[in-house]
Amino acid sequence: MGAHYGSIHVRTEDAAAIKTAVELISQERNLRFLIAPSIKGWITIFPEQNGQDSTVAELLAAKLANETLIHCLVHDDDVFAYSFFEHGKLVDCYNSRPDYFGEPNPPPRGGNAQAFARLLSKQAKVAQLQALLDAERPTLESNRLEDFAVLLELPNALSAYEYLQDGERDGIRQWKKFVHIPNLSGEKSVKRAAAAKVRTELLRRQ
């Protein structure tokens, strides 16, 4: 089974606005998230369900209507896709295998590197990005995601909520500063109390 990665990258330093928007979506959709600190001007959000649900990015883009946002995902290492939003609107999208799910009329592959020109440090990178999007399928689509993230300097892109929560954090930057939405302190306290009760009962029986 291949990798299932999904992350949403917002071009901002306003961590408070990100946290507020994510908390609202968490309450509306009963979803859990991890939010990374700002790294090179990007705040990365990891929704649960491996970040595969594109509607979460759409909701977040609407709530952060003044920001630039990129949702990246890899599905089973067979598909790499992204949705690129500016000012709350979808301006570009891409799917390396639009026919993967067997739709009768699959959408076009998409992918317009010029849409990212403002975010790329050098004009030459626009051509590099377009070549990456136009290239034939690699052995693992996570390799295409990795190259995409390097070009746009997106941090921590090769991961997902479930991987991080399971302790798969090699190469993850600033993990100790990640924030969980909703706050799990109350849930952890309940679990600790339950474990303590079990231990007490075992000691009593002994």
Q: Where are the domains of the chain?
A: 5-205
Rounded to whole angstroms, how far apart are CA atoms 22 and 32?
Answer: 9
Closest CA to 171 of 5, 1, 2: 5
Decide if pLDDT at 44 tops 90.
Answer: yes
Decide if pLDDT at 188 tops 70.
Answer: no
The stretch 21-50 carries a mean pLDDT of 98
The pLDDT tens digits of the residues spanning 113-146 come to 999 999 998 889 999 999 999 999 999 999 999 9
Decide if pLDDT at 92 tops 60.
Answer: yes
Q: What is the number of alpha carbons within 13 Å of residue 4 lying toward its C-beta?
A: 12
The stretch 58-84 carries a mean pLDDT of 98
CA angle 109/113/119 to nearest 5° reads 135
Rounded to whole angstroms, how far apart are CA atoms 54 and 32?
Answer: 15
76 Rama sector, left if φ>0, alpha if ψ -120 to 50, beta otherwise: left
Higher-scoring residue by pLDDT: 193, 130: 130
Average model confidence (pLDDT) across the chain = 92
CA angle 69/75/76 to nearest 5° reads 150
